[in-house]
Amino acid sequence: MEPTDTDTAPAFDRARFTCPACRELADQVWLNAYASPVNNPDGVPLRIAGAGLEQLARNPQFPPEVRERKVAYWNRVNGGDVFLDRWAPVQTDLFVAGLELSVCRSCLGTAVWLGGRMVYP
């Protein structure tokens, strides 16, 4: 029997579904979320945009490929993308209850789930 859309739709109780990012039927890795305080002198989440991003794009402290990577990163963040990234290791026992992520094994696209419902993408 051919699978129907409802058989493969993203769902909280499935480890394989049609990825909302790449549209492939793919295995998903489920992740819990932990929290750590924002580490920014202003005490608010860090965003680099506008003039600050232009400054970063010209910052001679970084080699060109590093600058390009940083600018691409901030463009994704500023554009509203949610994705996994390696950052400094943190140690925390602050668990975010009720929030999970699913990550597509095929494209690494990340979905955000609140209360068992996909809210992103």
The residues binding Zn ion (CB under 5 A) are: 19, 21-22, 104, 106-107, 109
Please state the closest distance from residue 103 (CB atom) to Zn ion, in A: 9
Please state the closest distance from residue 13 (CB atom) to Zn ion, in A: 19
Closer to Zn ion by Cβ: residue 101 or 104: 104
Closer to Zn ion by Cβ: residue 109 or 113: 109
For the chain, the DSSP string reads -PPPHHHHS--TT-SEEE-TTT--EEEEEEEEEEE-----TTSS-----HHHHHHHHH-TTS-HHHHHHHHHHHHHHHTT-------------EEEEEEEEEEETTT--EEEEETTEEEE-
Closer to Zn ion by Cβ: residue 17 or 74: 17
Please state the closest distance from residue 76 (CB atom) to Zn ion, in A: 16
